[in-house]
Amino acid sequence: MRFYTRQHQYYCGIDLHARSIYVCILNQEGEVLVHRNLKAKPHAFLAVIAPYREDLVVAVECMFTWYWIADLCAQEGLTFVLGHALYMMAIHGGKAKNDRIDSYKIAHLLRGGNVPFSYVYPQPMRATRDLLRRRNFLMRKRAELLAHIQNTNAQYNLPEFDGSLRYPANREDLAEHFTDDSVKKSIETDLALIEVYDKHLKEVELYLARHARIDDPNRYHLLKTVPGVGQILGLVLLYEIHDIARFPRVPDFVSYCLLIRSSKESAGKKLGTGGKKIGNAHLKWAFSEATCLFLRKNGAAQKYLQKLEARHGKGKALGILSRKLATAVYYMLKRQEAFDMKKFFET
């Protein structure tokens, strides 16, 4: 957990909503200068903060509408802090809660240097990252349709399909595999939707690959030197990590990727683990997938995994290998070096 501790003359806490914002501005002594509800419009916000812009810091809690206020502050040269939603328990754990109280709490946390902040993803690459996340969501929907066809086949105890259904050639005349007319209609609907997903996903993937070569071609090429990291995983790693310099140490990066468990202890007693949601689930997925592909047709990696399995068990061994792969990516990006298999197993 990191806190924003810089001192300013004025502190602005905002309880942010889709159509409205509740603004609270405090001075260094903690006196309330502004405390009012506004429409979520740039001109309304700028008019309220106009007398205090000289040394003002603005803080909001991370929710889905923070993009516009972050971009506005960047354009106007204002310091912006994005509060980590899961860490800001002083807001969620209060006895009473409303917009007026929340904005006041955010301003006071900011004044006292107690706002746990998140990374403010820069505007130029943010929309492309969101499109990539949308692509992964659509791919999962396509996978659900393919799984439904497989499950329907098993439900009626029919012979297995000749090949993998992810290839269009293996889906030709697939509905004829079923005898019942209603089942055929269900399968035809699935196949029609899969064709639509295939068309649009291909277009999106081409668009993302072109943008990656414009946004950061060097890092994109470096990431694809890792065995098992292809176009899609390379895109996920590129856009989800963005700037490796924001992670001072390897444990910070690995923790952000959700590849280590955070222990809870008190008075020497272990109370379990926590923080499973505090991190980036997209990076966890990417490194988990990359680990499985890294092992494919890689004798050295498979031998190394067997050693880990003998000591830790299969599940934990895969987790250790994922962390090792994430550590390698961290140093690759830090040093701007391609993946070195020999160095990977030596360290």
Q: Would you call 266 helix, strand, or coil by DSSP?
A: strand
According to the model, what pLDDT value does residue 264 have?
72
- Chain segment 2-17, per-residue pLDDT in tens: 889 999 999 999 999 9
- Asked whether residue 236 falls in the same domain as residue 306, the answer is yes
The DSSP-derived string for 150-196 is HHHHHHTTPPPPSS-TTSGGGGTTGGGG--SHHHHHHHHHHHHHHHH
73, 100, 118: which is the final residue of a domain? 118
- Chain segment 26-47, per-residue pLDDT in tens: 999 999 999 999 999 999 999 9
- Asked whether residue 210 falls in the same domain as residue 256, the answer is no
7 vs 346, higher pLDDT:
7
From the list 33, 55, 58, 54, the residue with the least C-alpha distance to 45 is 58
According to the model, what pLDDT value does residue 346 have?
83
- Asked whether residue 112 falls in the same domain as residue 131, the answer is no
- Chain segment 295-337, per-residue pLDDT in tens: 998 999 999 999 999 999 988 999 999 999 999 999 999 999 9
- Asked whether residue 185 falls in the same domain as residue 244, the answer is no
Q: Does any domain span residue 226?
A: no
- Residue 220's pLDDT band (cuts 50, 70, 90): very high
> Which residue type, as a one-letter code, is found at position 267?
A
CATH number at residue 46: 3.30.420.40
Q: For residue 327, give every residue at least 6 positions away whose Cβ sits within 8 Å of its Cβ, in sequence order, or none.
A: 250, 253, 254
- Asked whether residue 260 falls in the same domain as residue 338, the answer is yes
Give yes or no for residue 88 having a pLDDT over 90.
no
According to the model, what pLDDT value does residue 63 have?
85
**Comparing 19-33, 81-95, 127-141, 228-242, which segment has the lowest mean pLDDT?**
81-95
Q: Does any domain span residue 269?
A: no
- Asked whether residue 85 falls in the same domain as residue 164, the answer is no
Please tell me the distance from the alpha carbon of residue 193 to that of residue 336, in angstroms, as a whole number: 42
Q: Would you call 277 helix, strand, or coil by DSSP?
A: coil
Give yes or no for residue 80 having a pLDDT over 90.
yes
- Residue 338's pLDDT band (cuts 50, 70, 90): very high
- Asked whether residue 259 falls in the same domain as residue 340, the answer is yes
- Residue 90's pLDDT band (cuts 50, 70, 90): low
From the list 202, 213, 224, the residue with the least C-alpha distance to 333 is 224
According to the model, what pLDDT value does residue 85 have?
81
Phi, psi (degrees; rounded to nearest 5) at 29: -85, -5
DSSP strand E in the chain: where? 3-4, 10-16, 20-27, 32-39, 56-61, 79-83, 115-118, 262-266, 269-274
Number of separate domains in the chain = 3
According to the model, what pLDDT value does residue 275 have?
67
Q: Does any domain span residue 225?
A: no
Percent pLDDT > 90 in the chain is 75
Please tell me the distance from the alpha carbon of residue 185 to that of residue 178, in angstroms, as a whole number: 10
What is this structure's pTM? Answer: 0.85
- Range(s) of the domain holding residue 314: 231-264+276-346
Average pLDDT estimate for 277-301: 93
Q: Does any domain span residue 180?
A: yes
118, 147, 171: which is the final residue of a domain? 118
**HSE of 188, CA atoms in CB hemisphere, 13 A:** 11
- Residue 91's pLDDT band (cuts 50, 70, 90): low
- Asked whether residue 32 falls in the same domain as residue 77, the answer is yes
- Asked whether residue 169 falls in the same domain as residue 255, the answer is no
From the list 229, 210, 205, 223, the residue with the least C-alpha distance to 139 is 205
- Asked whether residue 255 falls in the same domain as residue 298, the answer is yes
- Residue 92's pLDDT band (cuts 50, 70, 90): low
- Asked whether residue 129 falls in the same domain as residue 114, the answer is no
- Asked whether residue 236 falls in the same domain as residue 342, the answer is yes
Q: Does any domain span residue 222?
A: no
Average pLDDT over all residues of the chain = 91
